Homo-oligomer: A and B are copies of this chain.
Amino acid sequence: MLGLMQDWPLLCHRIIDHAGTNHPERTIVTRSVEGPFHATTYAELRARALRLAQRLDKAGIRHGDRVATLAWNTWRHIEAWYGIMGIGAIYHTVNPRLFSDQITWIVNHAEDRLILADLTFVPLLEQLAAKLPTLERYVLLCDRAHMPQTSLKNAVPYEEWIGEVDGDFAWKTFDENTAAGMCYTSGTTGDPKGVLYSHRSNVLHGLMANGADMKGYSSRDVVMPVVPMFHANCWAMMFAAPMAGAALVMPGAKLDGASLFELLNRYKVTSTAAVPTVWLMLLQHLEATGGKLPHLKKVVIGGSACPRAMAKTFQDVYGVEVIHAWGMTEMSPLGTACTLKPEYAGLAGDARLDIQQKQGQTPFMVEMKITDDAGRRLGWDGKTSGRLKVRGPSVARAYYKEEGDVLDEEGFFDTGDVSTVDRYGYMHVTDRAKDVIKSGGEWISSIELENLAVGHPKVAEAAVIGVKHPKWDERPLLIVVLKKEQSASRDEILKFMQGKIAKWWLPDEVIFVDEIPHTATGKIQKTTLRERFKDFVLPSAAAQ
């Protein structure tokens, strides 16, 4: 028997309808790419998104078509998402930080028909345009006055373009499982993979993000999404904030410490989110200038592990609550957040920071398990580490244009991370599955060894990889870049590490190099290192 409740599909444009109707005067302030501050409201933003939807429709963009955006966080970029989704087309956020070859590859793979781009990226696009045959038109996110001279095909200023329709338009209606957005992951190996969000997954994900133990926005919040809209679906903020009627402060192209500090205080931002690198710049600026953060209440830190010292400084010096979070593009992206359950809520000082080093708890609608390599579930004791796998309505089951699902027999997606989970459900990422070193049937975390090694005063950067060993299968090799004008010996480094880890975790050898290779997004390229050292013979192996 079916229930007798209304059929009300979970469509993303209902979110901007809600904000525009019930929070019509709430502001969205942007540091525009052109320069000046710009302010609008949810009512205006909704009206302009409808106008864009109408203009796209007039341009022949149809249900299922991909429309690329190459843009910073601005009010126009939000309009773009909602306008594109509102006719059943798909926003495809292109990450300008990728290598140009990757950008070309994903625009062609997605077969984007249009691109909406900020002025910043015109030179890049002019350089790539010849290799982007599917793009019929370049819409530049500016008005006529700011329109540059450009060779880009059918280039037109956004304001003029959407001004060509009257705005008398209604959202299209369709199944809630219709694709809404697309974001490519850039792994350290192979081609990028396209994740295809649906209206349903975006709406449910926004609801999930608004739980009190996640981002938990209210209409009284002023939210600054520093994490770019082209990064992992903007961490749910473009859905969660308007759903809650929260005000938005959009930082545009300037993400340096001084610029963010100005926005945080000028607009009384209460909640913000970004990767550690950004917050390092902000904290350096604060330290240099003596600046304070009287309005900011919460900072979400994710994308990579939140350094302990960063959490401590935000909390102890500036009185800002740190929420260490974890997720991935394939998870829309929210997976866990380290807010404190009652079991931990009473902790202070180091004990609290210890817990906050974990990535935290899942919300309802994210299920997780850890397994061994054979797929058997492992216990939640806070010590046993295993492959982290997740399930839920905002988790991917497949990649765009790839055959079949990537899920296990229980429907879980393998995150590629290795983690522990404690008895209270707190997940802690200990390594990437492909980087973990398997020594004598046990797992050694490359990340822990690297973190320990960079604690040595002479070490600038460290990478640990597993190399073959006749007895132990693999043993850790530590690769080190020393700080400028420093010298150190193998024994000096290993002695520093001794006693701080289990004895059998100690790397078998230390190699000093000038440079460690990185991906476009700044991750250590361990595949290159493994290739380079694949025939390396450890002293301990040679002795066998």
Contact = CB atoms under 8 A, between A and B. Distances in A.
Interface of A: 1-8, 10, 14-15, 17-18, 21-26, 63-64, 90, 175, 177-180, 195-201, 204, 207-208, 210-213, 216-221, 243-245, 247, 332, 339-343, 345, 361-362, 364-365, 367, 391-400, 407, 411, 413, 423-425
A339 B218 CA distance: 10
Contacts of A411: 6, 8
A211 B210 contact: yes
Nearest to A421: B22
Given A2-B178, A364-B18, A212 B201 contact: no
This chain's copy number in the assembly: 2
A95 to B, nearest CB: 19
A392 B207 contact: no
A195 B4 contact: yes
Contact of A345 (B4, B220, B396): B220
A10 B177 contact: no
B8 A391 contact: yes
Given A17-B367, A212-B221, A213-B244, 16 more contacts: A2-B179, A3-B180, A5-B200, A7-B397, A8-B365, A15-B364, A18-B364, A18-B367, A21-B425, A24-B425, A207-B208, A212-B216, A212-B219, A216-B216, A216-B218, A219-B361
A6 B219 contact: no
15 contacts: A3-B179, A5-B200, A5-B332, A6-B391, A6-B411, A15-B364, A18-B365, A22-B361, A22-B425, A211-B244, A212-B244, A213-B218, A213-B219, A218-B339, A220-B341
B23 A340 contact: no
Contacts of A197: 3, 5
A362 B244 CA distance: 10
A17 B366 CA distance: 11
A393 B4 contact: no
Contacts of A340: 220
Given A210-B211, A361-B22, A5 B219 contact: no
A407 to B, nearest CB: 7
Nearest to A397: B6
A244 B411 CA distance: 24
Nearest to A177: B2
A23 B10 CA distance: 28
Q: Which of A200, A216, A219 has the most CB of B within 10 A?
A: A219
Given A23-B341, A23-B425, A213-B245, A5 B394 contact: yes
Q: Which of A15, A23, A211 has the most CB of B within 10 A?
A: A211
Contact of A5 (B17, B362, B395): B395
B2 A396 contact: no
Contacts of A345: 220
Given A207-B207, A341-B23, A364 B243 contact: yes
